[in-house]
Amino acid sequence: MCNTMRRKLFLNKSTTACGNSTRRRCIRRFESLLVAGIGLAVLGSACSAADWSFPRGDAAASGATTAQLPDELAVAWEFNADDAVEATPIVVGDRVYVADVMGKIYCLARSDGQERWRKDFGTGFLASPVIAGDRLVIGDYDGNVYAISASDGEELWTATTDGEISGSAAIYGDKVLVACQDGKLYCFELATGNPVWTYAAEDQIQCSPTIAGDRTFLGGCDAKLHVVDLKTGKADGDALPLEGPTGSTPAVRGDLAILPTHDGSVFAFDWKNKQQLWRYEDPLQAQEYRNSAAISADVAVVSSQRKQVDALDLKTGKRLWRHTLRRFADASPVIAGADVWIPATDGRLLRLALADGTVKWTYEIRGSFVAGVAVTDSELFVADDEGVVRCFRGK
């Protein structure tokens, strides 16, 4: 079956979310040619590692790393998946893990992109897998959660939810967290898949759970930022108001949580004291945010559906600079050292200067980038809407 027909079948099975945004977003992605955080503990600063173990770089979903890639990059290898890839590759040790929209998971050799194994579930994946020791965990659009062996793809257990899963799972100790469009956060045992507890929001949840210490953070279509105690599965006080729905994954740095909304606001909260610190809105034209923020020590970077990439002062919310894309970026931005990486739907992979937003480097394909980038200390990995996975290294 051709890729176009397979994608149409997948899109027809998509459910609605935040006022029918999920199916509309998927259709727009394919016609105009998701990302997510996991972890065990709060990370107080951008990560720096040989791996990209989390969909948003670290447990706190900062979307940032201190790694600085070489000035000039070239494609080291390419791998062709059978269908489009909308999720960030996960890089652990000598392997790269990728999931496509038609339900296949691929394990690739990091050195040369050769396929180690694949597992076909015949469903669809919109978010990245996560790795917990020797296990890979992922949720699908039918509401199933799978745990398989990371070494050979053997299926270990399957759990079920009551709605589409469009964000990545998270790992907290010996537990698995999965947010679902039935409005619930599920906690399962990592070893067996047995249910532990369930937390209910008032509307659908499209994001990945963000973890900071023993708390997890969820942005909801109920226009609230939920903070949940991971030990009990109960709310940590009242949810913080957003005044509009969101499907973005919260980015956390210390006591600070940053969350964009569909309605064009970017909120900063002191989540421990339950206080809004600032709120950014474009004074001239309302933006629309469908992805997540990247935050470093001083700057938050957001990318809107109206083609604007904005850098905001992390303390005040004041806009520092703006870069206008040719077409919008579905993928969330990533801060890597002195750079901001933007994979856009016009087929360009852009490297912007974190200092002022100027273009430093570009790479262009015929198709479209929907998935986010994975950045290690010496490589960049990204996949496109034709299923091509690329590894870039210094020339």
User: What is residue 163's predicted lDDT score, i.e. its pLDDT?
Assistant: 95
User: What is residue 298's predicted lDDT score, i.e. its pLDDT?
Assistant: 96
Which domain does 79 fall in, by range?
3-394
* Percent above pLDDT 90 for the chain: 87
Number of domain units in the chain: 1
User: What is residue 25's predicted lDDT score, i.e. its pLDDT?
Assistant: 38
| SS3 annotation, the chain | CCHHHHHHHHHHCCCCCCCCHHHHHHHHHHHCCCCCCCCCCCCCCCECCCCECCCCCCCCCCCEECCCCCCCEEEEEEEECCCCCCCCCEEECCEEEEECCCCEEEEEECCCCCEEEEEECCCCCCCCCEEECCEEEEECCCCEEEEEECCCCCEEEEEECCCCCCCCCEEECCEEEEECCCCEEEEEECCCCCEEEEEECCCCCCCCCEEECCEEEEECCCCEEEEEECCCCCECCCCEECCCCCCCCCEEECCEEEEECCCCEEEEEECCCCEEEEEEECCCCCCCCCCCCEECCCEEEEECCCCEEEEEECCCCCEEEEEECCCCCCCCCEEECCEEEEECCCCEEEEEECCCCCEEEEEECCCCCCCCCEECCCEEEEECCCCEEEEEEEC
Which stretches of the chain drop beneath a pLDDT of 70? Answer: 1-17, 19-48
Mean pLDDT of the chain: 90
End-to-end CA distance of the chain: 38
Domain harbouring 205, CATH code: 2.130.10.10
Distance in angstroms (rounded) separating the CA atoms of residues 7 and 82: 11
pTM above 0.85, yes or no: yes
257-269 pLDDT, tens digit per residue, is: 999 999 999 999 9
Specify the amino acid at residue 386: E
User: What is residue 311's predicted lDDT score, i.e. its pLDDT?
Assistant: 98
